[in-house]
Amino acid sequence: MIQCVASRDDSHPYCSGICCSMAIKNAIRIKEINFSTQVYILYRDMRMTGFYEDYYTKARKAGVVFIRYSRDNKPDVAAGGDKLRVTVRDPIIDADYVIDADCVALSTVIEPPENEGLDAILPVPRSAEGFYLESHVQLKPVDSYIDGIYICGMAHFPKSIDESIAQAKAAASRASILLARGYVKAEPIVASCNEDVCMGCGICESFCPYSAIDIVKKAKRKKAEIIVAACKGCGVCASYCPAKAINVGRFTDEQIYAQIRAFGGE
């Protein structure tokens, strides 16, 4: 078993989180079926979170062989007759170790699927890795930035079944609050557009992180239209608007200038 395949590199710098525990679980199962089977796990770093550390100890006692390799010296897999020949540099003996394997299992990176249709319907921001982003990692771990949309499981980040179930229960609990209430409260601070000044350039639409702005035709001219239910009042649109046609409630230019003058003692 070779870990971190196409993972933790320049293209995918993150750790998929569950690969190490799944590899060790499978290795232990193989040993339980046939103890004489030679099982090797080639790894960069064994990341056994929580109680999964016990699996690592159990695998070592069962005779599973762990060989560490570096990012700059990855294992080489080549055809060798009816077997696969795996060559890895063992840092302990400082020499190449050759394994004639009947089966080679690769723990590859877990990538979020691209779904343009779903992204258009649910404009939830994504993280740098491409997974759906939560509103707050501690205070709102299952809430998205859009009210009424909740995130759990692999949509949020690679995680074990136990973690996915726990997060799914939390998301269902949050959704039940809205269902019991029967309505959604909109944010009190949202953006507004002065259509007399707006020139319909579309800059605000392209920069809005919540897809809360549409460019629509009004009287044969393009204008920015704010989707109040989706707007979070972040002010990105107002900061980029070249015509200063967009204001954020309670944070107009006049109010901000007044606060600056008051702070300066003028």
CATH number reported for the structural domain that contains residue 25 in this entry: 3.50.50.60
Last residue of a domain, one of 149, 181, 213: 181
When the pLDDT of each residue in the chain is averaged and rounded to a whole number, the result is 89
- How would you classify the pairing of strands 2-5 and 106-108? parallel
Per-residue pLDDT tens for 74-110?
A: 999 998 788 999 999 988 888 999 999 999 999 999 9
pLDDT of residue 223: 93
Q: Evaluate if pTM is beyond 0.75.
A: no
Find the domain containing 38 and state its range: 2-108
pLDDT band at 266 (very low <50, low <70, confident <90, very high): low
Q: Is the residue at 25 inside a domain?
A: yes
Is residue 145 domain-shared with residue 225, that is, in the same domain? no
Query: Domain check: are 68 and 11 in the same one?
Result: yes
Question: Are 254 and 176 within one domain?
Answer: no
Instruction: Answer yes or no: is 103 within a domain.
Output: yes
Adjacent-strand bridge partners of 5: 108
**248 shares a domain with 207:** yes
Q: Mark whether 171 and 80 lie in a shared domain.
A: no
What CATH number corresponds to the domain at position 208?
Answer: 3.30.70.20
> For 147-173, how does the pLDDT look when each residue is reduced to its tens digit (9 = 90+)?
788 999 999 999 989 999 999 999 999
Percent of the chain with pLDDT over 90: 56
Residue at a domain's end among 124, 157, 181: 181
- Is 186 inside any structural domain? no
* Domains in the chain, number: 3
Q: Is residue 253 part of a domain?
A: yes
